[in-house]
Structure 1
Amino acid sequence: MTTLPTHARVVIIGGGVIGCSVAYHLTKLGWHDVVLLERKQLTSGTTWHAAGLIAQLRATANMTKLAKYSQELYGTLEQETGVATGFKRVGSITVALTDERREEIYRQAAMARAFGVDVQEISPTDVQAKYPHLNTQGVTGAVYLDKDGQGDPANIALALAKGARQRGAVIRERTRATSVARQGRRITGVDWQAEDGTSGHITAEHVVNCAGMWGREVGEMLGTNVPLQACEHFYIVSEPIDGLGPLPVLRVPDECAYYKEDAGKMMLGAFEPVSKPWALSGIPEDFEFDQLPEDFDHFEPILEWAVNRMPMLGTAGIHTFFNGPESFTPDDAYHLGQCPEMDNVWVAAGFNSIGIQSAGGAGMALAQWMEDGAKPFDLGDVDIARMQPFQGNRSYLAQRSTETLGLLYADHFPYRQKATARGVRRSPLHTHLLDHGAVMGEMAGWERANWFANPGQDRAYAYSWGRQNWFPNAAAEHAAIRTGVGLYDMSSFGKLRVEGPEAEAFLNHVCGADMSVPAGKIVYTQFLNPRGGVEADVTVSRLSETAYLVVTPAATRLADETWLRRHIRGRMVVITDVTTSEGVLAVMGPKARDLMHAVSPNDFGSAAHPFGMAHQIEIGMGLARAHRVSYVGELGWEIYVSADMAAHVFETLIEAGADHGLKLCGLHAMDSCRIEKGFRHFGHDITCEDHVLEAGLGFAVSKSKPDFIGRDAVQRKRDEGLQTRMVQFRLTDPEPLLYHNEPVLRDGQIVGYLSSGNYGHHLGGAIGMGYVPCAGETAQQVLASSYEIDVAGTRVPAECSLKPLYDPTSTRMKA
């Protein structure tokens, strides 16, 4: 048995394809003291029974980049290691059986081209030619990717493991990580126990949790939150079928099924709408290469559809009925990155049945992140910091996991809301909003009013790729904000109190803008990384000489708090999450000042309360803090009120608002207003890889501060010039809708894609934002081109602007 060292630069826990990939890529970067511990045998958890489908196309540019990397790596791995991976580029076909699904896959195809993936839309006749065994009745459209493939999951993992060993990694099977030594926010070592009775301790600089469906429990041992749940996953393999040769991988998501030819047999796998969580009380200690009991009744509806779709399955015998566990996360995205709770604990787990196609890219990205101490590119989709602490709750995971497996093949409609495990986090105004017709969506567990139903209207989403049932409601709410006064709840936004004698110096180090401002001043700013990329997009209000309030998006509150904590470095500063201590109501629109005067004796005129200031006010019979800022581009105030008084303030505003045409608004309307104004949305328009100057946010970065994170990168960009520019687009045809990722064509050539999209009800067309390459060009040259946006394969002309299309001088907001 391999001798284990007493010290390692990194200990990796888990020997599935993910752990092997992390070891492979770390050693490729020159890490020598790499130790991988596997409790049983390599691949014995989930990897060994994976279907081995290897597809390139994912939902975003960087996830597609990682998937492309995986298939390219697997194409060369056998030559490097001598281990046969079974990798074959057989291509893949996805067919649609409805018009809505056709719209989805055609939008995906357009997106793929923008990401550099070769993809073709093909007709039912083309499908029949490529897949003669398929019943194409009801097929409305299809897409084909010729470089997709399939492989042998176990051998891919073993090839990665061999590559890691060849460069010095120590991989020890039948050896459990049993406990850890911890000092503050760091793990200092890992205790291990082998099946032969030997044991020991490895001091470690880093620990990586690659424990797959054991990831939650290993996360607990490491002091971190890794929400995932094992679910049963079913497939069958037929007896050999005469004449069956190589075929593309076939996906029929409308029937929850995928098909793969393998050695003359046909595999049928399923992602059923309501799945079965497994091992809610813990995975059996002796689990190794195990399968779960058959449940033919559960699988039968999928099989009935499949026999109709693939008639040869009706005569071929079933060789294998397989049921094996795989891990799923609350949002169907895997967990990757540095855990927020610890400074040297990393995770790559919870791969939602796409572990084989993701492993290569995920291992590469995590290894580079560990090497550099910074993300190699935007990984916000999968960054473990997106997970909220409560999401590790077992009851929550059990409920949510019944849905997430099936969502892999469900229609991925825009604005689709999760149906399970809802109602965990509620604003202090939750019941009041429901009483007024709110239709709730969910973000980071928060129930938030997305739109308000009219009396008698069904309070539910009717999903579509076209105008959904709430489209007119959001248009009316949008109009109220633009022409009258609207009220919406912002209580879910994160609130971090940063205080102490060095709070000003600390925030001046972390923020791009100058924090040396008077008490009451509100500053819009970003946290920048050393490359000048945007790590957070926040407002910072100075409350006193020693205290500030940092307001963040709800989804990134934990990530933003973690960024702050990792940069304190001994300063006399305390950070406290005070999100739930205050409710926040936004009063927005040209009549906002009239309403505020009706509910408060304070002076809301521009001289007494200028834009960008926060004042304590009386409101109704209570007290609050009024922040004069706006994310919708109109005159308005965000009213911060203690949670105990929030309901009273809401009732006061509603009662007085009756005389001012006040309309309750949802966050869909807020987003459509912000995109008209050209305000950036963090995670879409601005990410860690988007330079703050190229994002058009140079106005928010100080030119005089002597030192802050990213200062040198900002100065270099100012000296060297921009490589890309954020551009705002409006479709000239008022009918098509934009969401995000639609390709941008400049003078007929794809040059990028939209980072965000929504409908501009006031401007009369869909609005998108995206980056356009501009090296060596002036702003005028960028604007002189002709632009189109590809919407599901149709090119739609668009006007462009570098300034906000709505109120470019911000006179309305500062009135």
Structure 2
Amino acid sequence: MTKAIPSKARVVIIGGGVSGCSVAYHLAKLGWTDVVLLERKQLTCGTTWHAAGLIGQLRASQNMTRLAKYSRDLYVKLEAETGIGTGMKQNGSITVALTEERREEIYRQASLARAFNVDVREITPGEVKEMYPHLNVSDVIAAVHLPLDGQCDPANIAMALAKGARRNGATVIEGVKVTAVEKRDGRVSGVTCVQNGETFTIATENVVNAAGMWGRELANMSGVTVPLHACEHFYIVTEPVVGLKSLPVLRVPDECAYYKEDAGKMLLGAFEPVAKPWGMDGIREDFCFDQLPEDVDHFAPILEKAVNRMPMLETAGIHTFFNGPESFTPDDRYYLGEAPELKGYWVAAGYNSIGIVSSGGAGMALAQWMNDGEPPFDLWEVDIRRAQPFQKNRTYLRERVTETLGLLYADHFPYRQMATARGVRRSPIHEHLKARGAVFGEVAGWERANWFARPGQEREYKYSWKRQNWFENQRDEHLAVRTGVGLFDMTSFGKIRVEGRDALSFLQRLCANQMDVAAGRIVYTQMLNARGGIESDLTGTRLSETAFLLVVPGATLQRDLAWLRKHIADAFVVVTDVSASESVLCIMGPKARELMGKVSPNDFSNAAHPFGTAREIEIGMGLARAHRVTYVGELGWELYVSTDQAAHVFEALEAAGRDVGLKLCGLHTLDSCRIEKAFRHFGHDITDEDHVLEAGLGFAVRTQKGEFIGRDAVLRKQDKGLSRRLVQFRLTDPDPLLFHNEAVVRDGKIVGTVTSGNYGHHLGGAIGLGYVPCIGESEAEVLGSAYEIEIAGTRVRAEASLAPMYDPKAERVRV
């Protein structure tokens, strides 16, 4: 019997896979009774039905791990709640390493698991053999066991979520194709759909795009960016194997393979290094529970290694050779949240083959987000606002996803750069830098010089968990900035003009610092949420009485634009992205003033151009706006140059710089210098979950200026006291390296993780930042403890400081 389509709903969820069913379930649990889920064919018929159903708790960050653990716990209890068997069993998982590099990686993951309170144990090859007797462990050198991981029946989990949603008042309708998302005044107003050839419209102010591999096409109809693309994903299932009993899920990432015992059969799946994109010309209308053609040749290298790894496969017959499509994103992270282009348009899609373990938690988080108007905790890793508009380009996506599928099981080396779909966004001096030895990385599509090779040196990364091949290059660049002068190309900065009659009052309401300053003044500030968490970290330069320029990281530009536009309300103000109009060349170091004097007739003395001010200057035969600020902790200027003059200005600086030892520097050096100075990095050290006072940024907050978003939370925290502090650490042993997510150990107990790390070439050791709990403690008590950092199971002593270890009084930037 065909279900009637309602005329209105509070939310319409598009897509009946596990993701859409989870969102419906959790919204209904929150009391949203008028929830409607529309599925074009049948529930689970896209990707969910053929997923492998692996439940691995440990993810790359604390909050992603929190969501995966939530999924595991939910799936354990769903059967009792709904009566539908989920096949959930906590048989554990084992990951084995065949190389020293992989051993380092999985041991680092084990340290991270302990920091995240995930049950984990490093085990020997002999213990692996005891737990997995069918495995050839002759070349296994290390392994990690997570006893509470497991596996499940994906389709039944989706069905159980759908049943739970219905029980709580949601409506789930199959056989309905959405043809349009209607909009009015910049927000969702309804959904047009077709059922049995008849067209209906549902009035609603909220839509959730949970359309999986159809998500990009559906979003594109509404002018929304959801960059994802389907790839073919392969696995085989054997005939029943005599005596095969319940086994842990096994991952052998060095062979791109995973194994799952199920009902006496063995499933072997793969994330091959070069994947096969699928659906470039769209997905056919009748696609439902479909398989793709077999490609035995493509899978053969995986199978060959698997027969050696699991000798029983040589004699076990193959029952099923399966090939099904799954969607992948440009950075291997899924999408969650409200799209910046259209209010009320929410996204839960692009799961990169971890949709089952992710969807329980992701559905909960998105439902909370929709209900409360803000995410329950920091979700920037998967926030849809990180997507760049150009990334919906199909040629770009087709090329990129050939790589991202394979990266799931590749070595997750620090500083690993994407190899595909490169060169999309370039600075005007890109070719100049390339000719001078630049080795580029990519962020938000921008090609950025990460380091500069010496003459004759190979211009590519040699990845390692130890010192990589550019370590000495970074040291030379770093020390040049500390003792001489360096040039950084920071054209990738996001640049936003805020102008109009109400520009000042608008920014006063959004920014925590005092924005009512004279024209030409630069203000370092944060935009806070109501909890006092940091939504944006930026500088604002007042250009005139009615115009400001905000400078933000290139990676957060879309997020920052969305936050500004969300809060415009009735303000007479215009927010414009002007990022492409100006290049930014940074001149940093104690000889910066000497260099500037050689290329410009302007006065760069403290009296004429003090710290925190901007003004127009002549430079070479062009013009620039010189901002006296720094992210490296030295005297310096950021030069904002019209893109048409950028190459000329660079050439003038380079020619004049020969007399003062000017060094071209990359982003790795920018990061190592900023971490010595304990400057925070958004997305790592500071997020929307981190209170501005606990992040040590109270100096940029002016509660006395009047009302602004987050002010009440700041005042409450001042009264109540801090519950944690961001601390700077330096390893006393100069040899180990810090990257991110190493465990912080206080008096023998893990209390947190390193939020960001790099090598302090001036301070002589690895430097990291990390939060330390401090309820009721003074600064002296926090610093009175013994600290260590756990790196791959080994604890290294660390010095701790609340003030920057480099130039704590900031005297060098004002010299």
Where does residue 155 of structure 2 map in the other structure?
A: 154
User: Aligned equivalents of 1:711 and 1:32: distance in 2?
Assistant: 35
Where does residue 77 of structure 1 map in the other structure?
A: 78
Q: Is the 8 A contact 1:180 1:190 kept in 2?
A: yes
Q: Is the 8 A contact 1:187 1:222 kept in 2?
A: no
Where does residue 289 of structure 2 map in the other structure?
A: 289
Where does residue 764 of structure 1 map in the other structure?
A: 764
Structure 2 residue ranges without an equivalent (≥5): none
Secondary structure in structure 2 of the residue aligned to 1:425: coil
Q: Is the 8 A contact 1:494 1:554 kept in 2?
A: yes
Where does residue 43 of structure 1 map in the other structure?
A: 44
Q: Is the 8 A contact 1:222 1:345 kept in 2?
A: no
Secondary structure in structure 2 of the residue aligned to 1:381: helix
State the Cα distance separating 1:54 from its structure 2 match.
Answer: 0.6
Where does residue 564 of structure 2 map in the other structure?
A: 564
2:644 is aligned with 1:632: no
Where does residue 333 of structure 1 map in the other structure?
A: 333
Q: Is the 8 A contact 1:752 1:772 kept in 2?
A: yes
Cα-to-partner distance string for 1:528-552 (whole Å, 9 max, x where unaligned)? 0000000000000011111100000
State the Cα distance separating 1:199 from its structure 2 match.
Answer: 2.9
TM-score (norm 2): 1.00
Where does residue 382 of structure 1 map in the other structure?
A: 382
Secondary structure in structure 1 of the residue aligned to 2:416: coil
User: Aligned equivalents of 1:774 and 1:717: distance in 2?
Assistant: 13
User: Aligned equivalents of 2:104 and 2:419: distance in 1?
Assistant: 23
User: Aligned equivalents of 1:778 and 1:310: distance in 2?
Assistant: 57
Cα-to-partner distance string for 1:18-49 (whole Å, 9 max, x where unaligned)? 00000000011111100000000000000000
Mapping 1:59-98, distance limit 5 Å: 59-98=60-99
State the Cα distance separating 1:221 from its structure 2 match.
Answer: 2.2
Cα-to-partner distance string for 1:96-143 (whole Å, 9 max, x where unaligned)? 110000100100110111111111111111111111100012111111
Q: What letter corresponds to residue 340 of structure 2 in structure 1?
A: P
Q: Is the 8 A contact 2:629 2:636 kept in 1?
A: yes
Where does residue 317 of structure 2 map in the other structure?
A: 317
Mapping 1:11-410, distance limit 5 Å: 11-194=12-195, 196-410=196-410
Q: What letter corresponds to residue 764 of structure 1 in structure 2?
A: G
Where does residue 803 of structure 1 map in the other structure?
A: 803
Q: Is the 8 A contact 1:38 1:175 kept in 2?
A: yes
Secondary structure in structure 1 of the residue aligned to 2:795: strand
Where does residue 8 of structure 2 map in the other structure?
A: 7
Runs (4+) off by over 3 Å: none
Where does residue 781 of structure 1 map in the other structure?
A: 781
Q: Is the 8 A contact 2:512 2:703 kept in 1?
A: no
2:752 is aligned with 1:752: yes
Where does residue 515 of structure 2 map in the other structure?
A: 515
Q: What letter corresponds to residue 697 of structure 1 in structure 2?
A: L
Q: What letter corresponds to residue 412 of structure 2 in structure 1?
A: H
Q: What letter corresponds to residue 450 of structure 1 in structure 2?
A: N
2:487 is aligned with 1:491: no
Q: What letter corresponds to residue 482 of structure 1 in structure 2?
A: R
Instruction: Quote the sequence identity (%).
Output: 70
Secondary structure in structure 2 of the residue aligned to 1:8: coil
User: Aligned equivalents of 1:35 and 1:199: distance in 2?
Assistant: 16
User: Aligned equivalents of 1:93 and 1:461: distance in 2?
Assistant: 30
Q: What letter corresponds to residue 553 of structure 1 in structure 2?
A: P
Q: Is the 8 A contact 1:22 1:364 kept in 2?
A: yes
Mapping 1:399-548, distance limit 5 Å: 399-548=399-548
State the Cα distance separating 1:198 from its structure 2 match.
Answer: 3.3
Where does residue 700 of structure 2 map in the other structure?
A: 700
Cα-to-partner distance string for 1:623-650 (whole Å, 9 max, x where unaligned)? 1010000000000000111001100110
User: Aligned equivalents of 2:334 and 2:273: distance in 1?
Assistant: 19
State the Cα distance separating 1:717 from its structure 2 match.
Answer: 0.4
State the Cα distance separating 1:182 from its structure 2 match.
Answer: 1.2
User: Aligned equivalents of 2:310 and 2:144: distance in 1?
Assistant: 18
State the Cα distance separating 1:220 from its structure 2 match.
Answer: 1.3
Q: What letter corresponds to residue 560 of structure 1 in structure 2?
A: D
Cα-to-partner distance string for 1:749-807 (whole Å, 9 max, x where unaligned)? 01111111111000000000010000000011000000000011000000000000000
Q: What letter corresponds to residue 18 of structure 2 in structure 1?
A: V
User: Aligned equivalents of 2:680 and 2:782: distance in 1?
Assistant: 20
Secondary structure in structure 2 of the residue aligned to 1:48: helix
User: Aligned equivalents of 2:197 and 2:641: distance in 1?
Assistant: 60
Q: What letter corresponds to residue 640 of structure 2 in structure 1?
A: Y
State the Cα distance separating 1:343 from its structure 2 match.
Answer: 1.0
Secondary structure in structure 2 of the residue aligned to 1:543: strand
Q: Is the 8 A contact 2:635 2:812 kept in 1?
A: yes
Q: Is the 8 A contact 2:224 2:341 kept in 1?
A: yes
Q: Is the 8 A contact 1:236 1:322 kept in 2?
A: yes
CA RMSD of aligned residues (A): 0.6
User: Aligned equivalents of 1:683 and 1:479: distance in 2?
Assistant: 27
State the Cα distance separating 1:187 from its structure 2 match.
Answer: 1.3
Secondary structure in structure 2 of the residue aligned to 1:782: helix
Structure 1 residue ranges without an equivalent (≥5): none
Q: Is the 8 A contact 1:2 1:170 kept in 2?
A: no
User: Aligned equivalents of 1:375 and 1:625: distance in 2?
Assistant: 38
Q: What letter corresponds to residue 758 of structure 1 in structure 2?
A: N
State the Cα distance separating 1:706 from its structure 2 match.
Answer: 1.2
Q: What letter corresponds to residue 301 of structure 2 in structure 1?
A: P
Secondary structure in structure 2 of the residue aligned to 1:527: strand
User: Aligned equivalents of 1:746 and 1:671: distance in 2?
Assistant: 26
Secondary structure in structure 1 of the residue aligned to 2:405: helix
State the Cα distance separating 1:89 from its structure 2 match.
Answer: 0.3
Q: What letter corresponds to residue 454 of structure 2 in structure 1?
A: N
User: Aligned equivalents of 2:336 and 2:8: distance in 1?
Assistant: 24
Where does residue 730 of structure 1 map in the other structure?
A: 730
Cα-to-partner distance string for 1:246-302 (whole Å, 9 max, x where unaligned)? 000000000000000000000000000000000100001100000000000000000
Q: Is the 8 A contact 2:110 2:122 kept in 1?
A: yes
Q: Is the 8 A contact 2:753 2:770 kept in 1?
A: yes
State the Cα distance separating 1:178 from its structure 2 match.
Answer: 1.2
Q: What letter corresponds to residue 55 of structure 1 in structure 2?
A: G
State the Cα distance separating 1:222 from its structure 2 match.
Answer: 2.9
TM-score (norm 1): 1.00
User: Aligned equivalents of 1:364 and 1:771: distance in 2?
Assistant: 26
Cα-to-partner distance string for 1:410-464 (whole Å, 9 max, x where unaligned)? 0000000000000000011101110111000000000000000000000000000
State the Cα distance separating 1:197 from its structure 2 match.
Answer: 2.7
Q: Is the 8 A contact 1:4 1:170 kept in 2?
A: no
User: Aligned equivalents of 2:170 and 2:703: distance in 1?
Assistant: 47
State the Cα distance separating 1:705 from its structure 2 match.
Answer: 1.5
User: Aligned equivalents of 2:648 and 2:521: distance in 1?
Assistant: 27
Where does residue 691 of structure 1 map in the other structure?
A: 691
Where does residue 573 of structure 1 map in the other structure?
A: 573
Query: Bigger shift: 213-222 or 32-41?
Result: 213-222
User: Aligned equivalents of 1:548 and 1:429: distance in 2?
Assistant: 26
User: Aligned equivalents of 1:717 and 1:221: distance in 2?
Assistant: 45
Mapping 1:544-623, distance limit 5 Å: 544-623=544-623
Where does residue 646 of structure 1 map in the other structure?
A: 646
User: Aligned equivalents of 1:289 and 1:544: distance in 2?
Assistant: 60
Q: What letter corresponds to residue 658 of structure 1 in structure 2?
A: R
User: Aligned equivalents of 1:2 and 1:698: distance in 2?
Assistant: 56
User: Aligned equivalents of 2:740 and 2:181: distance in 1?
Assistant: 43
What is the number of equivalent residue pairs in this alignment?
814
User: Aligned equivalents of 2:759 and 2:146: distance in 1?
Assistant: 31
User: Aligned equivalents of 2:323 and 2:181: distance in 1?
Assistant: 34
Secondary structure in structure 1 of the residue aligned to 2:428: coil
Secondary structure in structure 1 of the residue aligned to 2:398: helix
User: Aligned equivalents of 1:729 and 1:589: distance in 2?
Assistant: 24
